Structure 1
Amino acid sequence: MALIVSSVRRQSQVIRGLHGGTGQIRVNYLAVGGVLFSDMQLFEWGEVPPGAGAARHTHTRTEELFLLLSGRAVVGLGADQREVGPGDAILTGRGGEHWITAIGDEPLSLLIFEAMPPEIADRLPAHSPVGDA
């Protein structure tokens, strides 16, 4: 079964101070838990202007994966911090402290995936996407 659920071409939402961070970030929620068969909770595209980003935070239920499409960023994972760019993928495990700030002259464009690890997903009731017959 194939189903188009969204598009990056639709109107973006603007989030100010994501997780207590600086600046404003444009996001398009491409898919959220209610339309997915899997334990993925979120699939989104984001654009972050230079100097903006998400402050230190943790996710208690999900792990998060970022795929950088363009631009550059500094990403912190626990006590580690590094510069990343296009093609880099960053995984934050559940409960792992992390943050991200766009750097350079161009906006950071990235895909963000959030999924529940098996130790949480296996304890939840089985589900089907909203509207699945």
Structure 2
Amino acid sequence: MSSPETPQHLPAAPDLLEGPVERAGEPEFAHTLHEGAGDLRIRHHFAGSSQLPVALQTWTLAPGAYEGMHAHDEPSLEEIYLVLSGRARIRQDGETHLLGPGDALRAPAGVEHDLACEGDEPLQVLVAWGPTGHFDMSGFGSYRKAIAARDAVSAARGENSGEAVSRGEAPEDDGAARIRG
């Protein structure tokens, strides 16, 4: 099941902001997602002015609030949740993950998941979501270093990352253009 609010490719928008800075808490709005419940507030950073192919949002969930179980398969979207403060419970693919500040979870396209505020304090999460693909557009080498660092941690644990991208290859089912720096 997909969110009724899916990204659309829009023509370039004029810069709707006074400048390049958004101040904390502005603009913020209450929103209910995927049949969730409770107080959920969202800041959609630079909505209408950023040209990036991802949405970058800060969500604040009150104690007991939750997003609701969902998956993004049509269109194919991936989400990354990064906990800024508070405690999160994310159910995904039959497992429950408890996350604290600095922890992150990736929700691949088509995989059911949810997010809930766990505990007595509000949960603040940075959420990035967009179309699937592997991209390194910087040319500064940080992407390659991140892949090498991840592979080194996996090797030290005796694990095999098993991802084609660690060898610099695009996964077979990935039709997205790949830019390497």
Shorter-chain TM-score tier: 0.7 to 0.9
Question: Larger Rg: 1 or 2?
Answer: 2
- Per the normalisation by structure 2, the TM-score is 0.59
Unaligned runs of 5+ in 2: 1-18, 134-173
Residue by residue over 1:36-67, the C-alpha shift from the partner in whole angstroms, topping out at 9 and shown as x without a partner, is 2x432x10111001110111100122100011
Unaligned runs of 5+ in 1: 123-133
Residue by residue over 1:78-124, the C-alpha shift from the partner in whole angstroms, topping out at 9 and shown as x without a partner, is 111121111001100011110011011110001000021134655xx
Q: How many residue pairs are counted as aligned between the two chains?
A: 117
Identity of aligned residues (%): 30
After superposition, the CA RMSD in angstroms is 2.0
Q: 1:39 aligns with which of 53, 59, 68?
A: 53
Q: CA deviation at 1:9?
A: 3.0
- Per the normalisation by structure 1, the TM-score is 0.78
SS of residue paired to 2:34: helix
Indicate the residue corresponding to 1:14 in structure 2: 30
Pair 86,121 (structure 1): closer, same or farther in 2 beyond 3 Å: same
Indicate the residue corresponding to 1:79 in structure 2: 94
Indicate the residue corresponding to 1:23 in structure 2: 38
Residue identity opposite 1:22 in structure 2 = A
C-alpha distance in structure 1 between counterparts of 2:96 and 2:37, whole Å: 18
Pair 63,34 (structure 1): closer, same or farther in 2 beyond 3 Å: farther
SS of residue paired to 1:68: strand
C-alpha contact 1:64 1:91 (8 A) present in aligned 2: yes
C-alpha distance in structure 2 between counterparts of 1:96 and 1:8, whole Å: 32
C-alpha contact 1:33 1:39 (8 A) present in aligned 2: no
Q: CA deviation at 1:71?
A: 0.3
Residue identity opposite 2:60 in structure 1 = E
SS of residue paired to 2:102: coil
